[in-house]
Amino acid sequence: MSPLNIKSGATSHSAYNLRPVFSDTRETHTLAVVVDNESGVLARVIGLFSGRGYNIESLTVAEVDAEGHRSRITVVTTGTPQVIEQIKAQLDRMVPVYEVHDLTVEGPAVERELALFKVVCKGEHRVEALRMADIFRANVVDSTLESFVFEITGTSEKVAAFGDLMRPLGLVEIARTGIAALSRGA
């Protein structure tokens, strides 16, 4: 209680909403950023994240317009709704940035990731690894008498689940590309 016997926060008797409007919930968002394809642009864009302490969960960059010299950076980041809005606004103000799209809020999107898994195994584990690869529609891209390299494409959850099943069979190395995403529809 304050000296005036006023409780903090809004009540049905108060004309003022004194509760904070900021959310504590952390959300994961996929941002697609179209930028100039020139040296230093990626460092500037990623510097925005590191300079403010924002985490990047996935990062994918590739040229998408050779004539216009433009690249697309797909960034998956986590933060409160206010932090995500701040990231988008700061990206939009940068000079080499043409477009910023938050695929998470703009509607349905298709997200895929490519991964390579090296599994060293013999005997029954070898047969089981091939069975699991068939179930997950993973391709064998390299095979020796003692190892396989599997290529799998899908959602991050699918890639992680495949890795969890390969671990007891002899998984020794993983290489993942990061998420590539496009919005669905027109």
Do 37 and 54 have their domain in common? yes
Look at the chain and report how many structural domains it folds into: 2
On whether residue 76 sits in a domain, the answer given is: yes
Nearest-angstrom CA–CA distance, 150 and 137:
10
Q: Which pLDDT score, from 0 to 100, does residue 1 have? A: 47
Phi-psi domain of 61 (left: phi exceeds 0; alpha: psi -120 through 50; beta: other): beta
Give the structural domain span for 37. 27-102
Q: Determine the residue type at 122.
A: K
Please enumerate in sequence order all residues whose Cβ is within 8 A of that of 97, keeping only pairs 6 or more positions apart, or say none.
33, 34, 35, 45, 91
More confident residue, 94 or 186: 94
Do 131 and 92 have their domain in common? no
Of 167, 70, 177, 29, the C-alpha closest to 115 is 177
| Residue carrying the six token digits 């994918």 | 60
Question: Looking at 55, 82, 102, which one is the last position of a domain?
Answer: 102
User: Which strands, in side-by-side order, build the sheet including 171-183?
Assistant: 139-143, 147-154, 109-120, 171-183
What tens digit of pLDDT does each residue of 132-151 get?
999 999 999 999 999 999 99
**Angle CA(110)–CA(62)–CA(141) in degrees, nearest 5?**
75
Nearest-angstrom CA–CA distance, 164 and 159:
9
DSSP code per residue over 28-42: EEEEEEEEE-STTHH
Structure tokens at 147: 């190892």
On whether residue 1 sits in a domain, the answer given is: no
Give the burial class of 186: count Cβ atoms within 10 A of its Cβ; 0-12 exposed, 13-18 middle, 19 or more buried.
exposed
Question: Looking at 73, 102, 131, which one is the last position of a domain?
Answer: 102
Do 76 and 117 have their domain in common? no
CATH code at 67?
Answer: 3.30.70.260
pTM above 0.95, yes or no: no
Please enumerate in sequence order all residues whose Cβ is within 8 A of that of 186, keeping only pairs 6 or more positions apart, or say none.
none
Do 125 and 88 have their domain in common? no
On whether residue 7 sits in a domain, the answer given is: no
What tens digit of pLDDT does each residue of 77-114 get?
998 899 899 999 999 999 899 999 999 999 999 999 99
Do 31 and 98 have their domain in common? yes
What tens digit of pLDDT does each residue of 37-73 get?
999 999 999 998 888 888 899 999 999 999 999 999 9
Do 140 and 157 have their domain in common? yes
pLDDT at 15 over 70: no
3 state SS of 103: coil
Question: Looking at 47, 68, 102, which one is the last position of a domain?
Answer: 102
